[in-house]
Amino acid sequence: MRILVVGGDGSVGRELIPALLAGGHQVVVLDKELGAVRAFPHPRLVLVSGAVEDQAAVAEATRGTEAIVHLAWSFSDDPIYLLEHDLRGHLLLLTAAREQGTRHFIYTSTAVVYGKPLRTPIDEDHPLRVLAARKPAYGVAKEFAEKLAFLAAQGTGLSATVVRFWWAFGGEIGGKHLREMLRTAAEGRTLQVPADCGGSFLSQDDFNLAVTTILSRPVSGGWVYNLASDYVSWEEVARMIVEVTGSAAKVEVIPAPEWTGAAFLADRWELDDRRIRSRLGFVPTRDPAEVREALRRAIARTWKRVQSSPA
């Protein structure tokens, strides 16, 4: 299958691409930055340099594609930027997919569309309270993009699927808050975290498996799927951070009603992923203990990078 990975030079894309190549697929990457993916040249890998809102680049990258995995999205909360770049590019991809007769379109959305959890675990039918999200314009744009994907597929042979997840990690793990926690622990300062808060981390291996599982189904579109490897509390993450930094820092757990720290840490983002398991037979690649160990290793590798990089 000829698969276009949009935003393939990002942290998720560059670990998805080798998995798709290993599966025998031809992979096209569209990204304005291609530095990371150039590191693994392959006869079935085609690189197209350009932004997703560049119509000529989109036309070149989508030519002959049977599937599109759309990963590219800014983390902007500026409505004008979201309209002119992210949503414009999304529409260009969907239009090209229809014109090319593409079979699959997988759009990677986000748990941010749920806004602020009303109940846990959060299933796909949870209300989309985007105006209550910590980045409301971003959430509004992502929700609209989901609807546009399903709208584009109506009355065509295009199978559109939306996946939502909270925080993905591979060999390393990104995130401003995590880097701040690493530096705090390394300085021996107390790590404060809210009680009964955390999130469903998604391993890169599980993301890769979800993508290939969806692509293996002739008609799997029209559905939203939560992706989650396992729920890990912030207290558990903090203790991993203390361990990998070799610090003597203490972990202080603050009752949730008394929490005054970063709003990002203040909720329980436990995603219910039973839909993809029951509908598509998806089985995660690791058990909960293995997920935690993989997360700890990713945090340890990230700490090594933080140490070698300027603050």
Q: Characterize 269-278 residue by residue with b for buried, 16 or more Cβ atoms within 10 angstroms of its Cβ, and e for exposed.
A: bbbbbebbee
CATH of region 172-199+231-267+288-308, choose from 3.90.25, 3.30.70, 2.60.40, 1.10.8: 3.90.25
| 303: nearest Cα among 174, 182, 180, 177 | 182
Of 242, 234, 264, 245, residue with least CA distance to 305? 245
Parallel, antiparallel or unpaired: strands 198-203 and 230-233: antiparallel
In the numeric block, the tokens 């558990």 are attached to 236
Q: Say how far apart CA 107 and CA 163 lie, in whole Å.
A: 6
Residue-wise burial string across 15-30, b where 16 or more C-beta atoms lie within 10 A, e elsewhere:
bbbebbbeeebbbbbb
- Structural tokens at position 276: 């993809």
- Rounded to the nearest 5 degrees, what angle is found at the Cα of 75, between the Cα atoms of 72 and 80? 95
pLDDT by residue for the chain (311 residues), tens digit each?
999 999 999 999 999 999 999 999 999 999 999 999 998 889 999 999 999 999 999 999 999 999 999 999 999 999 999 999 999 999 999 999 999 999 999 999 999 999 999 999 999 999 999 999 999 999 999 999 999 999 999 988 899 999 999 999 999 999 999 999 999 999 999 999 999 999 999 999 999 999 999 999 876 679 999 999 999 999 999 999 999 999 999 999 999 899 999 888 999 999 999 999 999 999 999 999 999 999 999 999 999 999 987 65
The residue type at 113: V
How far is residue 298's CA from residue 76's CA, in Å, rounded to a whole number? 26
| Alpha-carbon 28 to chain mean position | 19
Read off the tokens for 284: 């995660």
The one-letter amino acid code at 108 reads T
- 159: Cβ contacts below 8 Å, ≥ 6 apart: 103, 104, 105, 153, 217, 218, 219, 220, 221, 222
- What residue spans in the chain does CATH classification 3.40.50.720 cover? 2-164
Within 8 A by CB and 6+ apart from 266, the residues are 194, 197, 256, 259
Strand partners, 161: 106, 223
Q: Is 229:286 a contact under the CB 8 Å cutoff? A: yes
CATH 3.90.25 domain range(s) in the chain: 172-199+231-267+288-308
Beta strands (DSSP E) in 144-264 are 159-164, 167-169, 191-194, 198-203, 223-226, 230-233, 251-254
Find out whether 163 and 200 touch, Cβ atoms under 8 Å. no
Residue 259, phi then psi, degrees to nearest 5: -70, 130
What pLDDT shows up at residue 258? Answer: 95
For the segment(s) 2-164, the CATH number from 2.60.40.1180, 3.40.1260.10, 3.40.50.720, 3.30.110.60 is 3.40.50.720
